[in-house]
Structure 1
Amino acid sequence: MGNLMNKEPPPPMVLVPPLFDFPPLAARTRMLESSYDLLFGKLALKCLFDDYFEQARHFSTMIMLKPIDDPHVDLVATVSGPLDHKPEESIVGNAFFRWQSDVDDPHTFMDLFVSNTDPTLQMRACAYYPKYGFGAFGIFPMLLKKRITSEDFGVMGLRYGSTNLSIGATAMPFSMKDECPRRAWLVSKMGRLTAGVQYEPEYGSKEGQKYRNLKNWSCAIGYGVGSSSPLSPSFNFGLELSKSSQFIASFYQHVVVQRRVKNPLEENEVVGITNYIDFGFELQTRVDDTKSSNDVPESSYVPQVPDSTFQVAASWQANKNFLLKGKVGPLSSSIALAFKSWWKPSFTFSISATRDHVVGETGYGFGIRVENLRQASYQRADPNFVMLTPNKEHLAEGIVWKVGKRPMLQSDITAGNFDGIPKELRPLGKIL
């Protein structure tokens, strides 16, 4: 009886929920893309500006499933279309069937893409050897109604990646035109600075002229602080001169904060919860004065873009279930609310409202997602985020809650030690 009467109360705990979508699905196929197109905060900004912002008066559904018996394969299927019947618009459905060599390493895989639009059937494959840093990949449209552009005949590429360097090139060996390389990039990281250059021969008639034409070259420089783990704050700032005609300035910041919890559904020892707040800004402006017909690429149509535009976005994840996002631009503004239930498979419902400033109308969009690809679990951790096992209850001892002040987050992840946290919450990898 004495031991029961003198039992100490449990120490306070802090809830640490997983991010809604981490790692992003685009990270699974990043070895098929140029590193130049993914670094400088571009991947994070794309997720911030696009995810859960459905097109006005449209719906989208996504199913992402994998069998329990064979985790090396999975299926991602999407169906999207207008909410009201329009003759000029139809419902689009497509699916990816993917095989991955290593469950924990998404860099070696093969997938088949089927759709009711072009391409009807497409195969993609990538093989990467981390020990040597070399990889090869290919994209092969197998069934098409018409083969118009050079990419319709297939694209193959080689790449090398390390922690501080990424270099690669793509070519189209089955194309009738002699275009080699179709794309080439070089990106290097020096401390917190990242610089890169990319070559895409779209302008000019002869090979010699294409190399000398500055409109075929793009360059960028970025400054980044922090890691790509959602448990660590990060900041990225980038400047890009795209094809010598468009200047792009952007920044992205991921903030990790803790707030009080007064939830009657939680235990008394739960005193706080971790929130994730993301900010993003992108400014695009043209720097060339003349626009002639000679500037249009031979094999593709480039839509006209405004001389200057910008967009600002922010998101707030209050807990494991609710996400609020908003973005503002000169042509339109949008707000989105998403609810996620962490069942197996998880279920996500989102609704977004878009205000068209030109027309003066507001439209709504809806989205539904079902997923069991990412198995991030709800965590309880100490204020330093030192997680020992994926589902152990960690005690948050010594946390001090003061009005107007938030505890500083210092942990092993500051030094790059992510071995003890679930794989869904680790950084994307050590490949630039």
Structure 2
Amino acid sequence: MGNFWSWSKEPPPPMVLVPPLFDFPPLAARTRMLESPYNLLFGKLALRCLFDDYFEVAKHFSTKLLLKPTDDPHVDLTATVSGPLDSDAKETIIGNALFRLQSDIDDPHTFADLFVSSSDPILLMRACAYYPKYGLGAFGIVPVLQKKRSSSEDYGIIGLRYGSSNISLGATLMPYSLRDEFPKSAWLVSKIGRLTVGVQFDPKFEKKEDARYRNLKNWSYAIGYGLGTGSPLSPSFNFGLELAQNSQFIASFYQHVVVQRRVKNPLEDNEVVGITNYIDFGFELQTRIDDEKTSNNIHDSTFRVAASWQANKNILVKAKAGPLGSSFCLAFKSWWKPSFTFSMSAIRDRTVGKTSYGFSVCVDNVREASYQRADPNFVMLTPNKEHLAEGIHWKTGSRTLLQSNVDSGNFDGVPKELRPLGRIL
């Protein structure tokens, strides 16, 4: 009898499904070295993804292809086609294509790409080089073919930047009008603990050199408070205040919540007892503070709120609302190679009292998910797809609380999709 029990198999330990995020890292993170960090930090990038991704324009469609060859992962191609659903509309269908060459597949900061479009600019070249050892970087944007060059910016922009984990500073300039408009823009952003502060000089008013610097409308200031490591398996919180162009006050907040719920799926194994969900909230308030407009109408002060819920690796639900309308989006993703995503949006316009629809299709093998299962503390224990979840207790109001490698900032054994976007501010 003792031999019988010794030969019997022990039941497998319980496991928790940890589905990959629909789009991580976001595509905007691949070109962030071409843009001022002032426009990406303070929760701005996360809010942009929450408010814009999968929300299609009313009565419009879009298709996107993100493909890279299996023989050479250093290059990839992104092609988009978008336009109106109504054949009688005056708008035309627009097609774009972006060919990208990246020297290091794990480092998106050094790259070169070619952008072609059926609209202006027809051909655009961009390149960026960053040296982590010194924290120095340089980039350039050159419109090669353009129907009409009406400003100095249409002849090209170059930029220099310095970045570390606590500070980022840089400037852009236009060689064609170096004497009259120097610099085109400049920024300084610093992080002290959980606090991030930044200032940006973007001269859109006054042409004379002295007046450009004295005009407060050319300056913007922001301060933000943030929690979290930047990994999608770790909860995060961002709150920001911004004074833009001395005329607009913007308050925003974004929160990424990681929760676990019980699951009873007949298609899963018996040892699968739970699933991890991702819930995101975002709020943004904009109000004018200058005296140029005395009326307090909806255009002087407005707000918007949005939320998303990823129930599993295949389904994402999003909704957003504001004074002028609201939108609802349902997206379905199939994790084939390449992955296939279909989304449908319903847009309610309160000004005319009508509801319209839009849809999009996306095929992607540039961002590949490599994680599916983990323990309750979101630690990737082994490089394969079956990660044991020992010691989980499904009781009301009770949850295992242990310090994890993700919380401590140790991402050495974590797939690159789960790591923070980078150590560069």
Quickly say closer, same or farther: Cα 1:337–1:177, change in 2 above 3 A: farther
Unaligned 5+ residue runs, structure 1? 293-303
1:226 aligned partner = 228
What TM-score comes out, normalization by structure 1 length?
Answer: 0.95
The 5-angstrom pairing of residues 351-430 of structure 1 reads: 351-408=344-401, 410-430=403-423
1:157 aligned partner = 159
Amino acid at match of 2:235: P
Amino acid at match of 1:104: D
Quickly say closer, same or farther: Cα 1:181–1:23, change in 2 above 3 A: same
**1:379 and 1:391 in contact (8 A); partners too:** no
Quickly say closer, same or farther: Cα 1:186–1:268, change in 2 above 3 A: same
Distance 1:153 1:4 in 2: 78
Distance 1:417 1:178 in 2: 48
Distance 2:403 2:306 in 1: 27
Aligned to 1:26, the other structure's residue is in SS state helix
Amino acid at match of 1:350: S
The alpha-carbon deviation at position 149 of structure 1 amounts to 2.4
Aligned to 2:23, the other structure's residue is in SS state coil
Aligned to 2:420, the other structure's residue is in SS state coil
Aligned to 2:171, the other structure's residue is in SS state strand
The alpha-carbon deviation at position 377 of structure 1 amounts to 2.6
Q: C-alpha offsets along residues 116-158 of structure 1, whole Å, 9 cap, x if unaligned?
A: 0000000000000001000000100000000012211100000
1:317 aligned partner = 310
Distance 1:366 1:397 in 2: 42
The alpha-carbon deviation at position 199 of structure 1 amounts to 0.2
Distance 2:391 2:84 in 1: 53
Quickly say closer, same or farther: Cα 1:313–1:408, change in 2 above 3 A: farther
Unaligned 5+ residue runs, structure 2? none
Distance 2:142 2:239 in 1: 35
1:39 aligned partner = 41
Quickly say closer, same or farther: Cα 1:338–1:4, change in 2 above 3 A: farther
2:192 aligned partner = 190
**2:371 and 2:415 in contact (8 A); partners too:** no
The alpha-carbon deviation at position 100 of structure 1 amounts to 0.2
**1:257 and 1:406 in contact (8 A); partners too:** no
The 5-angstrom pairing of residues 167-186 of structure 1 reads: 167-175=169-177, 178-186=180-188
The reply to whether residue 285 of structure 1 matches residue 287 of structure 2 is yes
Task: Tell which deviates more after alignment, 418-427 or 350-359.
Answer: 418-427
Sequence identity (%):
75
Distance 2:257 2:194 in 1: 18
Amino acid at match of 2:26: P
Q: C-alpha offsets along residues 15-58 of structure 1, whole Å, 9 cap, x if unaligned?
A: 11110000000000000000100000000000000000000110
2:76 aligned partner = 74
The alpha-carbon deviation at position 341 of structure 1 amounts to 0.4
Aligned to 1:174, the other structure's residue is in SS state helix
1:124 aligned partner = 126
Distance 1:205 1:32 in 2: 25
Distance 1:280 1:343 in 2: 30
The alpha-carbon deviation at position 306 of structure 1 amounts to 1.4
**1:197 and 1:217 in contact (8 A); partners too:** yes
The alpha-carbon deviation at position 388 of structure 1 amounts to 3.5
Amino acid at match of 1:42: K
Amino acid at match of 1:186: L
4+ residue segments displaced more than 6 Å:
none
The alpha-carbon deviation at position 69 of structure 1 amounts to 0.5
RMSD between aligned alpha carbons? 1.6
The alpha-carbon deviation at position 291 of structure 1 amounts to 5.7
Task: Tell which deviates more after alignment, 235-244 or 202-211.
Answer: 202-211
The reply to whether residue 59 of structure 1 matches residue 52 of structure 2 is no
1:84 aligned partner = 86
Task: Tell which deviates more after alignment, 78-87 or 208-217.
Answer: 78-87
Quickly say closer, same or farther: Cα 1:120–1:35, change in 2 above 3 A: same
**1:153 and 1:175 in contact (8 A); partners too:** no
2:327 aligned partner = 334
Amino acid at match of 1:363: S
Distance 1:274 1:106 in 2: 28
**1:221 and 1:240 in contact (8 A); partners too:** yes
Q: C-alpha offsets along residues 345-374 of structure 1, whole Å, 9 cap, x if unaligned?
A: 000000010000111110100000000001
**1:224 and 1:235 in contact (8 A); partners too:** yes
Distance 1:18 1:87 in 2: 39
Distance 2:174 2:207 in 1: 17
The 5-angstrom pairing of residues 5-16 of structure 1 reads: 6-16=8-18
1:274 aligned partner = 276
Quickly say closer, same or farther: Cα 1:395–1:365, change in 2 above 3 A: same
